[in-house]
Amino acid sequence: MESAEEAETKGSASPPPSATAASAAVEAEGDMEERERYSREIKSGLHPLKHKFVFWYTRRTPGVRSQTSYEDNIKKIVEFSTVEAFWVCYCHLARPSSLPSPTDLHLFKEGIRPLWEDAANCNGGKWILRFKKVVSGRFWEDLVLALVGDQLDYGDDVCGAVLSIRFNEDILSVWNRNASDHKAVMALRDSIKRHLKLPHSYLMEYKPHDASLRDNSSYRNTWLRG
């Protein structure tokens, strides 16, 4: 008499795909969609970007405790995938100097939500840069152009960037996928400094997202990294 396990094996045409195989299939499908998008945009006379991006916006009322989750507060503004569409979007966005505090403006690759818990972010972290409000707009624009143009080292490891408007300063952060890959993390730091033309002595901070989840804070208890 055959066991239930043997019967189940005989009744199955093929074993279920492993999680790795399923993930690879999804990735391959995504790559195919990207190639098709790229081809369509080229044929239309446009200049396609390597990645499709989404701008998001978060505005919270200071001093007011709301039952609304942070995720519910994040609003998608616009998405783009070509140089032409980027400039149309960017030229219509409010300048950082005109945004109220506290406000967050997020620029992330399509399919990645600007949340610590997102699958692309959960094992990663972020580099943090603090600027006086009078200069933050220029650094944000330089960072946006580097991200959209895929100019940062280990670009495939980069998920997105955030501009956080606060009362006494503005904070830029660049999110990456893998906080434990020391080589990629430090190379990204050097690339950010280079593209923003920051002095070599400028101190940047890093914080893994799991640490942010533990203390429920984006910018406290960071690691100073020269």
Q: Give the chain's mean pLDDT.
A: 84
| Residue 71 domain-assigned (yes or no) | yes
Instruction: Summarize the confidence of residues 10-24 as an average pLDDT.
Output: 42
Statement: residue 13 has pLDDT above 70? no
- Confidence (pTM): 0.80
Percent of the chain residues topping a pLDDT of 90: 64
- Specify the pLDDT at position 25: 47
| Residue 67 domain-assigned (yes or no) | yes
What domain count does the chain have?
Answer: 1
User: What confidence tier does 222 reach under pLDDT thresholds 50, 70, 90?
Assistant: confident
Domain housing 184: 49-225
**What confidence tens digit (pLDDT) does each residue in 169-207 have?**
999 999 999 999 999 999 999 999 999 999 988 999 999
Three-state secondary structure string covering the chain: CCCHHHHHHHHCCCCCCCHHHHHHHHHHHHHHHHHHHHHHHHHCCCCEEEEEEEEEEEECCCCCCCCCCHHHHEEEEEEEEEHHHHHHHHHHCCCHHHCCCCEEEEEEECCCCCCCCCCCCCCCEEEEEEECCCCHHHHHHHHHHHHHCCCCCCHHHEEEEEEEECCCCEEEEEEECCCCCHHHHHHHHHHHHHHCCCCCCCCEEEEEHHHHHHHCCCCCCCEEEC
CATH number for 183: 3.30.760.10
- Specify the pLDDT at position 197: 96
Instruction: Summarize the confidence of residues 42-65 as an average pLDDT.
Output: 81
